[in-house]
Structure 1
Amino acid sequence: MLSDLIGLPQIIALLVLLQRGAEELYSARNTRALIAAGAKEAGRSYYPVVATTHLAWIASIFFLIPASASASYLLAAIYIALQGVRYWVISTLGRFWTHRIFTLEGAPVTLRGPYRYLRHPNYAVTIAETFLLPAVFGALAVGVIMGAVWTAVLAYKIELEDEALSVRRAHSEQAVATQRTEI
Protein backbone atom coordinates (compact mmCIF):
# COMPACT_ATOMS: atom_id res chain seq x y z
CA MET A 1 0.00 0.00 0.00
CA LEU A 2 1.29 3.49 -0.90
CA SER A 3 0.65 4.88 2.59
CA ASP A 4 3.10 2.28 3.95
CA LEU A 5 5.83 3.68 1.68
CA ILE A 6 5.07 7.40 1.59
CA GLY A 7 4.45 9.34 4.77
CA LEU A 8 5.42 12.67 6.26
CA PRO A 9 9.19 11.91 6.26
CA GLN A 10 9.12 11.11 2.55
CA ILE A 11 7.04 14.20 1.75
CA ILE A 12 9.45 16.37 3.74
CA ALA A 13 12.44 14.77 1.97
CA LEU A 14 10.85 15.60 -1.40
CA LEU A 15 10.16 19.17 -0.26
CA VAL A 16 13.79 19.55 0.85
CA LEU A 17 14.89 18.18 -2.53
CA LEU A 18 12.72 20.79 -4.28
CA GLN A 19 14.08 23.52 -2.00
CA ARG A 20 17.66 22.54 -2.72
CA GLY A 21 16.88 22.27 -6.43
CA ALA A 22 15.63 25.87 -6.42
CA GLU A 23 18.77 26.88 -4.54
CA GLU A 24 20.86 25.10 -7.19
CA LEU A 25 19.23 27.25 -9.89
CA TYR A 26 20.13 30.39 -7.92
CA SER A 27 23.65 29.06 -7.34
CA ALA A 28 24.08 28.29 -11.05
CA ARG A 29 22.95 31.80 -12.01
CA ASN A 30 25.42 33.32 -9.53
CA THR A 31 28.15 30.96 -10.76
CA ARG A 32 27.69 32.08 -14.37
CA ALA A 33 27.83 35.75 -13.32
CA LEU A 34 30.93 35.22 -11.18
CA ILE A 35 32.75 33.38 -13.97
CA ALA A 36 31.81 36.16 -16.40
CA ALA A 37 33.29 38.68 -13.91
CA GLY A 38 36.55 36.71 -13.78
CA ALA A 39 36.07 34.63 -10.63
CA LYS A 40 38.21 31.54 -10.19
CA GLU A 41 36.95 28.24 -8.80
CA ALA A 42 38.76 26.36 -6.04
CA GLY A 43 38.19 22.72 -5.16
CA ARG A 44 36.32 21.93 -8.35
CA SER A 45 37.17 18.23 -8.19
CA TYR A 46 35.76 18.05 -4.64
CA TYR A 47 32.32 19.43 -5.52
CA PRO A 48 30.87 16.03 -6.55
CA VAL A 49 31.64 14.75 -3.03
CA VAL A 50 29.68 17.65 -1.55
CA ALA A 51 26.74 17.19 -3.92
CA THR A 52 26.64 13.43 -3.37
CA THR A 53 26.72 13.84 0.39
CA HIS A 54 23.84 16.29 0.24
CA LEU A 55 21.75 13.97 -1.91
CA ALA A 56 22.63 11.00 0.33
CA TRP A 57 21.31 12.91 3.35
CA ILE A 58 18.00 13.61 1.62
CA ALA A 59 17.81 10.00 0.37
CA SER A 60 18.49 8.70 3.89
CA ILE A 61 15.47 10.61 5.16
CA PHE A 62 13.33 9.31 2.30
CA PHE A 63 14.41 5.66 2.45
CA LEU A 64 15.52 5.02 6.02
CA ILE A 65 12.82 6.74 8.05
CA PRO A 66 9.57 4.77 8.18
CA ALA A 67 6.55 6.41 6.56
CA SER A 68 4.68 5.92 9.83
CA ALA A 69 7.24 7.85 11.92
CA SER A 70 5.67 10.48 14.11
CA ALA A 71 7.03 14.01 14.15
CA SER A 72 8.18 16.23 16.98
CA TYR A 73 6.54 19.57 16.29
CA LEU A 74 9.01 21.36 18.57
CA LEU A 75 11.99 20.01 16.60
CA ALA A 76 10.15 20.74 13.35
CA ALA A 77 9.68 24.37 14.44
CA ILE A 78 13.39 24.63 15.26
CA TYR A 79 14.24 23.17 11.84
CA ILE A 80 11.96 25.71 10.14
CA ALA A 81 13.57 28.53 12.13
CA LEU A 82 16.95 27.23 11.00
CA GLN A 83 15.79 27.71 7.40
CA GLY A 84 15.40 31.40 8.24
CA VAL A 85 19.08 31.45 9.23
CA ARG A 86 19.92 29.57 6.02
CA TYR A 87 18.24 32.28 3.92
CA TRP A 88 19.84 35.02 6.02
CA VAL A 89 23.20 33.56 4.97
CA ILE A 90 22.14 33.32 1.32
CA SER A 91 20.75 36.87 1.24
CA THR A 92 23.83 38.24 3.00
CA LEU A 93 26.14 36.75 0.36
CA GLY A 94 23.76 37.72 -2.45
CA ARG A 95 25.45 37.36 -5.83
CA PHE A 96 28.45 35.64 -4.21
CA TRP A 97 26.42 32.71 -2.83
CA THR A 98 27.04 29.46 -4.70
CA HIS A 99 27.28 25.79 -3.81
CA ARG A 100 30.83 25.81 -5.07
CA ILE A 101 33.89 27.84 -4.06
CA PHE A 102 34.57 30.90 -6.19
CA THR A 103 36.77 33.85 -5.45
CA LEU A 104 36.72 37.15 -7.28
CA GLU A 105 39.94 39.11 -6.99
CA GLY A 106 39.43 42.44 -5.28
CA ALA A 107 35.98 41.62 -3.93
CA PRO A 108 35.67 42.07 -0.16
CA VAL A 109 35.01 39.05 2.04
CA THR A 110 31.61 39.37 3.68
CA LEU A 111 31.89 40.29 7.36
CA ARG A 112 28.26 41.33 7.96
CA GLY A 113 25.02 39.52 8.73
CA PRO A 114 25.67 36.07 10.23
CA TYR A 115 29.31 36.40 9.17
CA ARG A 116 29.77 38.86 12.07
CA TYR A 117 29.29 35.90 14.42
CA LEU A 118 30.71 32.90 12.55
CA ARG A 119 33.26 32.52 9.79
CA HIS A 120 31.19 29.77 8.09
CA PRO A 121 27.54 30.14 9.13
CA ASN A 122 26.30 28.31 6.03
CA TYR A 123 28.17 25.17 7.05
CA ALA A 124 27.05 25.48 10.68
CA VAL A 125 23.44 25.55 9.45
CA THR A 126 24.07 22.57 7.16
CA ILE A 127 25.49 20.46 9.98
CA ALA A 128 22.73 21.49 12.39
CA GLU A 129 19.95 20.68 9.93
CA THR A 130 21.59 17.36 9.06
CA PHE A 131 21.26 16.27 12.68
CA LEU A 132 17.93 18.00 13.29
CA LEU A 133 15.66 16.91 10.43
CA PRO A 134 16.04 13.17 11.04
CA ALA A 135 15.59 13.88 14.78
CA VAL A 136 12.21 15.45 13.95
CA PHE A 137 11.12 11.90 13.11
CA GLY A 138 13.01 10.20 15.94
CA ALA A 139 15.72 8.90 13.60
CA LEU A 140 18.66 9.86 15.77
CA ALA A 141 20.98 7.28 14.20
CA VAL A 142 20.36 8.72 10.72
CA GLY A 143 21.11 12.20 12.06
CA VAL A 144 24.28 11.14 13.83
CA ILE A 145 25.64 9.11 10.92
CA MET A 146 24.83 11.66 8.22
CA GLY A 147 25.90 14.49 10.51
CA ALA A 148 29.28 12.85 11.00
CA VAL A 149 29.67 12.33 7.25
CA TRP A 150 28.65 15.93 6.50
CA THR A 151 31.00 17.26 9.18
CA ALA A 152 33.94 15.44 7.60
CA VAL A 153 33.01 16.57 4.07
CA LEU A 154 32.50 20.17 5.14
CA ALA A 155 35.67 20.28 7.24
CA TYR A 156 37.67 19.67 4.07
CA LYS A 157 35.53 22.11 2.05
CA ILE A 158 36.19 24.75 4.71
CA GLU A 159 39.95 24.17 4.32
CA LEU A 160 39.62 24.63 0.56
CA GLU A 161 37.49 27.74 0.98
CA ASP A 162 39.74 29.32 3.62
CA GLU A 163 42.77 28.78 1.40
CA ALA A 164 40.99 30.27 -1.62
CA LEU A 165 39.79 33.30 0.34
CA SER A 166 42.93 33.89 2.42
CA VAL A 167 44.25 36.84 0.39
CA ARG A 168 40.84 38.49 0.12
CA ARG A 169 40.14 37.86 3.82
CA ALA A 170 43.41 39.53 4.83
CA HIS A 171 42.54 42.60 2.74
CA SER A 172 39.00 42.75 4.18
CA GLU A 173 40.21 42.42 7.76
CA GLN A 174 42.85 45.09 7.15
CA ALA A 175 40.18 47.42 5.72
CA VAL A 176 37.97 46.87 8.80
CA ALA A 177 40.92 47.54 11.11
CA THR A 178 41.73 50.75 9.19
CA GLN A 179 38.11 51.93 9.48
CA ARG A 180 38.16 51.33 13.23
CA THR A 181 41.31 53.39 13.70
CA GLU A 182 39.89 56.24 11.59
CA ILE A 183 36.76 56.49 13.74
Structure 2
Amino acid sequence: MGVERLAELVVARRNARWSMERGGRVYGQGHYPWMVALHTGLLAGCLLEVYLAGRPFIPVLGWPMLVLVVAAQALRWWCVRALGPRWNTQVIVVPGLPLVRGGPYRFDRLRHPNYVAVVVEGVALPLVHTAWITALVFTVLNAVLLAVRIRCENAALATLPT
Protein backbone atom coordinates (compact mmCIF):
# COMPACT_ATOMS: atom_id res chain seq x y z
CA MET A 1 0.00 0.00 0.00
CA GLY A 2 2.89 2.33 0.66
CA VAL A 3 4.16 1.85 -2.89
CA GLU A 4 0.65 2.46 -4.23
CA ARG A 5 0.44 5.73 -2.26
CA LEU A 6 3.82 6.82 -3.63
CA ALA A 7 2.58 6.09 -7.16
CA GLU A 8 -0.47 8.27 -6.46
CA LEU A 9 1.77 11.11 -5.32
CA VAL A 10 3.90 10.87 -8.47
CA VAL A 11 0.77 11.02 -10.64
CA ALA A 12 -0.70 13.83 -8.52
CA ARG A 13 2.44 15.97 -8.83
CA ARG A 14 2.57 15.48 -12.57
CA ASN A 15 -1.13 16.29 -12.88
CA ALA A 16 -0.82 19.34 -10.62
CA ARG A 17 1.85 20.76 -12.95
CA TRP A 18 -0.44 20.09 -15.93
CA SER A 19 -3.36 21.84 -14.21
CA MET A 20 -1.36 24.83 -13.03
CA GLU A 21 0.10 25.33 -16.53
CA ARG A 22 -3.50 25.71 -17.71
CA GLY A 23 -4.52 28.19 -15.03
CA GLY A 24 -5.65 25.66 -12.42
CA ARG A 25 -6.88 26.92 -9.09
CA VAL A 26 -6.26 25.02 -5.84
CA TYR A 27 -9.13 24.77 -3.37
CA GLY A 28 -9.22 23.50 0.21
CA GLN A 29 -5.59 23.93 1.12
CA GLY A 30 -6.55 24.12 4.81
CA HIS A 31 -7.83 20.54 5.02
CA TYR A 32 -5.20 18.95 2.78
CA PRO A 33 -2.47 18.54 5.45
CA TRP A 34 -5.03 16.83 7.68
CA MET A 35 -5.88 14.44 4.88
CA VAL A 36 -2.21 13.60 4.34
CA ALA A 37 -1.76 13.01 8.08
CA LEU A 38 -4.88 10.84 8.29
CA HIS A 39 -3.91 8.64 5.35
CA THR A 40 -0.35 8.32 6.64
CA GLY A 41 -1.83 7.41 10.01
CA LEU A 42 -3.95 4.70 8.40
CA LEU A 43 -0.89 2.97 6.97
CA ALA A 44 1.10 3.39 10.18
CA GLY A 45 -1.84 2.29 12.31
CA CYS A 46 -2.27 -0.90 10.30
CA LEU A 47 1.32 -1.86 10.96
CA LEU A 48 1.58 -0.67 14.55
CA GLU A 49 -1.68 -2.14 15.80
CA VAL A 50 -0.88 -5.54 14.33
CA TYR A 51 2.62 -5.48 15.81
CA LEU A 52 1.87 -3.92 19.21
CA ALA A 53 -1.45 -5.63 19.88
CA GLY A 54 -0.49 -8.95 18.29
CA ARG A 55 -3.47 -8.93 15.94
CA PRO A 56 -3.79 -12.28 14.16
CA PHE A 57 -4.68 -12.95 10.56
CA ILE A 58 -8.10 -14.59 10.66
CA PRO A 59 -8.71 -16.07 7.20
CA VAL A 60 -12.50 -15.81 7.30
CA LEU A 61 -12.14 -12.04 7.84
CA GLY A 62 -8.76 -11.32 6.26
CA TRP A 63 -9.31 -12.77 2.80
CA PRO A 64 -12.64 -11.00 2.12
CA MET A 65 -11.12 -7.75 3.40
CA LEU A 66 -8.16 -8.20 1.07
CA VAL A 67 -10.57 -8.66 -1.84
CA LEU A 68 -12.25 -5.37 -0.83
CA VAL A 69 -8.87 -3.62 -0.64
CA VAL A 70 -8.03 -4.80 -4.16
CA ALA A 71 -11.50 -3.74 -5.40
CA ALA A 72 -11.02 -0.30 -3.81
CA GLN A 73 -7.68 0.07 -5.60
CA ALA A 74 -9.27 -0.93 -8.89
CA LEU A 75 -11.99 1.69 -8.40
CA ARG A 76 -9.42 4.34 -7.41
CA TRP A 77 -7.29 3.73 -10.50
CA TRP A 78 -10.40 3.67 -12.69
CA CYS A 79 -11.08 7.16 -11.33
CA VAL A 80 -7.49 8.20 -12.01
CA ARG A 81 -7.74 6.92 -15.57
CA ALA A 82 -11.13 8.55 -16.20
CA LEU A 83 -10.00 11.94 -14.92
CA GLY A 84 -6.65 11.71 -16.68
CA PRO A 85 -4.45 14.73 -15.96
CA ARG A 86 -7.29 16.30 -13.95
CA TRP A 87 -7.02 13.69 -11.16
CA ASN A 88 -5.19 14.88 -8.08
CA THR A 89 -4.92 14.33 -4.35
CA GLN A 90 -5.58 18.05 -4.01
CA VAL A 91 -8.67 19.84 -5.26
CA ILE A 92 -7.41 21.62 -8.38
CA VAL A 93 -9.84 22.93 -10.98
CA VAL A 94 -8.84 24.16 -14.42
CA PRO A 95 -11.30 26.92 -15.37
CA GLY A 96 -13.34 26.29 -18.48
CA LEU A 97 -12.98 22.53 -18.61
CA PRO A 98 -16.28 20.63 -18.45
CA LEU A 99 -17.03 18.03 -15.82
CA VAL A 100 -15.75 14.55 -16.62
CA ARG A 101 -18.66 12.28 -17.51
CA GLY A 102 -16.80 9.06 -18.35
CA GLY A 103 -15.60 6.06 -16.37
CA PRO A 104 -17.18 5.80 -12.93
CA TYR A 105 -18.21 9.48 -13.21
CA ARG A 106 -20.92 8.56 -15.71
CA PHE A 107 -23.07 7.33 -12.82
CA ASP A 108 -24.89 10.48 -11.66
CA ARG A 109 -25.81 9.04 -8.27
CA LEU A 110 -22.16 8.39 -7.50
CA ARG A 111 -20.61 11.85 -7.69
CA HIS A 112 -17.40 10.98 -5.86
CA PRO A 113 -16.44 7.38 -6.65
CA ASN A 114 -12.85 7.93 -5.52
CA TYR A 115 -14.15 8.59 -2.01
CA VAL A 116 -16.08 5.33 -2.10
CA ALA A 117 -12.71 3.67 -2.69
CA VAL A 118 -11.21 5.60 0.24
CA VAL A 119 -14.02 4.58 2.60
CA VAL A 120 -13.88 0.91 1.61
CA GLU A 121 -10.10 0.87 1.87
CA GLY A 122 -10.17 2.59 5.27
CA VAL A 123 -12.35 -0.13 6.72
CA ALA A 124 -10.98 -3.13 4.85
CA LEU A 125 -7.22 -2.55 4.90
CA PRO A 126 -6.84 -2.63 8.69
CA LEU A 127 -9.25 -5.55 8.99
CA VAL A 128 -7.11 -7.71 6.70
CA HIS A 129 -5.10 -8.32 9.85
CA THR A 130 -7.88 -7.56 12.42
CA ALA A 131 -6.62 -4.05 13.27
CA TRP A 132 -10.11 -3.01 14.30
CA ILE A 133 -9.05 0.03 16.35
CA THR A 134 -7.28 1.51 13.31
CA ALA A 135 -10.32 0.76 11.15
CA LEU A 136 -12.65 2.43 13.64
CA VAL A 137 -10.51 5.51 14.29
CA PHE A 138 -9.77 6.07 10.60
CA THR A 139 -13.42 5.63 9.63
CA VAL A 140 -14.67 8.18 12.17
CA LEU A 141 -11.97 10.77 11.40
CA ASN A 142 -12.31 10.16 7.66
CA ALA A 143 -16.07 10.77 7.83
CA VAL A 144 -15.42 14.19 9.36
CA LEU A 145 -12.70 14.99 6.84
CA LEU A 146 -14.72 13.78 3.86
CA ALA A 147 -17.62 16.01 4.86
CA VAL A 148 -15.25 18.99 4.57
CA ARG A 149 -13.54 17.67 1.45
CA ILE A 150 -16.73 16.91 -0.46
CA ARG A 151 -18.19 20.35 0.33
CA CYS A 152 -14.94 21.91 -0.90
CA GLU A 153 -14.85 19.79 -4.04
CA ASN A 154 -18.51 20.40 -4.87
CA ALA A 155 -17.99 24.17 -4.54
CA ALA A 156 -14.90 23.97 -6.77
CA LEU A 157 -16.66 21.82 -9.39
CA ALA A 158 -19.61 24.23 -9.41
CA THR A 159 -17.31 26.77 -11.08
CA LEU A 160 -17.00 24.54 -14.16
CA PRO A 161 -19.35 24.52 -17.14
CA THR A 162 -21.81 21.60 -17.17
TM-score (norm 2): 0.89
Moved more, 86-95 or 69-78: 69-78
Alignment deviations for residues 9-29 of structure 1 (CA, whole Å, 9 cap, x no partner):
xxxxxxx11210111011001
1:106 and 2:96 are equivalent in the alignment:
yes
Moved more, 108-117 or 90-99: 108-117
Write the distance in 1 (CA, Å) between the matches of 2:64 and 2:148.
32
- Larger % of helix: which? 1
Letter in 1 for 2:18: A
Which of these two proteins has the greater Rg computed from alpha carbons? Answer: 1
Q: CA deviation at 1:39?
A: 0.6
Write the distance in 2 (CA, Å) between the matches of 1:64 and 1:140.
9
Write the distance in 1 (CA, Å) between the matches of 2:104 and 2:125.
22
Task: Tell me the matched-pair count.
Answer: 155
Alignment gaps of 5+ in structure 1: 1-15, 173-183
- Alignment partner of 1:85 out of 75, 79, 84: 75
TM-score (norm 1): 0.80
1:17 and 2:2 are equivalent in the alignment:
yes
Q: Aligned residue for 2:56?
A: 69
Q: Aligned residue for 1:53?
A: 38
Write the distance in 1 (CA, Å) between the matches of 2:55 and 2:146.
32
Q: CA deviation at 1:41?
A: 0.6
Moved more, 137-146 or 124-133: 137-146
- Alignment partner of 1:147 out of 139, 142, 147: 139
Alignment deviations for residues 82-141 of structure 1 (CA, whole Å, 9 cap, x no partner):
211111111001100010011111101112211122101111110110001111112223
RCO (CA 8 Å, sep 6+): is it higher in 1 or 2?
2
Alignment deviations for residues 155-174 of structure 1 (CA, whole Å, 9 cap, x no partner):
10111111111131xx31xx
1:166 and 2:158 are equivalent in the alignment:
yes
3-state SS, counterpart of residue 99 of structure 1: coil
Moved more, 127-136 or 64-73: 64-73
Q: Aligned residue for 2:114?
A: 122
Write the distance in 2 (CA, Å) between the matches of 1:102 and 1:78.
28
- Give the root-mean-square deviation of aligned CA atoms: 1.4
- Sequence identity (%): 27
Moved more, 67-76 or 56-65: 67-76
Q: CA deviation at 1:68?
A: 5.9
Moved more, 69-78 or 100-109: 69-78
